[in-house]
């Protein structure tokens, strides 16, 4: 079984690379944003609870997000060869809670990949996306929020010898090759 957590700042290519790798290795691509939207659309109890927060513009509490992630991990397609968590966890508290969930469902063996891209490249990529809310000041703020809240996970996973850093400053296919090589050649923890 291949189980991966993708880390990296906004614009590093996590979603793109997770989708490519998921397809090539038959892994479930688990994005918390997608899980939230699906649960709300399906009207599940956790989806209804998440919607009460989302409809008011508030962040969905960790307890709800963790419940949704656990539901998704427990209900993988039968033909799935594992999973990729894209965009979760976002902080050390979530990482520790995720570890408890994975231990409870006997899926605790996983690897963490960090896509490393210099800030100036990230800013350029994000501005080229052309989203209305992506001014340079907003992009720089998002990167700072990432550095403050999520980047400490790099040290968290590195201290556990469970981090593979990938140079994400290249063409999509080159980054894909680097990730594929790291995943297929590195021993599982």
| CA-based nearest residue to 3, from 97, 106, 156, 94 | 106
Residue 189 pLDDT level (bands cut at 50, 70, 90):
low
Domain spans, the chain: 2-30+82-185
**Catalytic member of 63, 96, 129, 160:** 129
Q: Would you call 160 a catalytic residue per the annotation?
A: no
In the set 14, 72, 111, 178, the catalytic residue is 14
Specify the 3-state DSSP secondary structure of 186.
coil
Separation of alpha carbons 74 and 77, rounded Å: 9
- 8 A C-beta contact, residue 78 and residue 26: no
pTM, to two decimals? 0.88
pLDDT of amino acid 187: 64
Is 14 considered catalytic here?
yes
Distance of CA 10 to the CA centre of its chain: 11
Nearest to 25 by CA among 76, 80, 72: 80
Our answer to whether residue 3 is catalytic in this structure is no
CA nearest neighbour of 174 among 94, 128, 115:
115
Give the tens place of pLDDT for each residue, 174-186: 999 999 999 988 6
User: Of the listed 96, 128, 131, 147, which one is catalytic?
Assistant: 131
Q: What is the reported pLDDT for 185?
A: 80
| Chain segment 53-93, per-residue pLDDT in tens | 888 878 889 999 999 999 999 999 888 999 999 989 989 99
For the residues 121-141, what does the mean pLDDT come to? 87
- Per annotation, catalytic residue among 3, 72, 111, 142: 142
142 part of the active site: yes
CATH of 2-30+82-185 among 3.40.50.300, 3.30.1600.10, 1.10.3720.10, 2.30.110.10: 3.40.50.300
| Contact present, 73 and 101 (Cβ < 8 Å) | yes
Going edge to edge, which strands form the sheet with 82-86? 28-31, 82-86, 2-7, 111-116, 164-167
Confirm whether 129 is a catalytic residue. yes
Whether the Cβ atoms of residue 65 and residue 90 lie closer than 8 Å to each other? no
Residues with Cβ within 8 Å of 124's Cβ and at least 6 positions away in sequence, in order, are: none
């Amino acid at each position: 079984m291949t189980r991966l957590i993708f880390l990296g700042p906004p614009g590093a290519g996590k979603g793109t690379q997770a989708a490519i790798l998921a397809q090539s290795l038959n892994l479930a691509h688990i994005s918390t944003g997608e899980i939230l939207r699906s649960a709300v659309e399906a009207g599940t109890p956790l989806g209804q609870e998440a919607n009460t927060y989302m409809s008011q513009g508030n962040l969905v509490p960790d307890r709800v997000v963790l419940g949704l992630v656990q539901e998704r991990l427990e209900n993988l397609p039968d033909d799935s060869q594992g999973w990729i968590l894209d965009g979760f966890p976002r902080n050390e508290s979530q990482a520790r809670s995720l570890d408890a969930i994975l231990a409870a469902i006997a899926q605790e063996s996983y690897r963490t990949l960090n896509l490393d891209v210099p800030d100036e490249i990230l800013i350029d990529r994000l501005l080229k996306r052309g989203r209305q809310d992506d001014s340079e000041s907003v992009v720089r703020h998002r990167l700072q929020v990432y550095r403050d809240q999520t980047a400490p996970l790099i040290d968290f996973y590195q201290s556990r010898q469970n981090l593979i850093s990938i140079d994400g400053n290249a063409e999509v296919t080159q980054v894909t090759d680097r990730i594929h090589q790291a995943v297929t050649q590195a021993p599982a923890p």
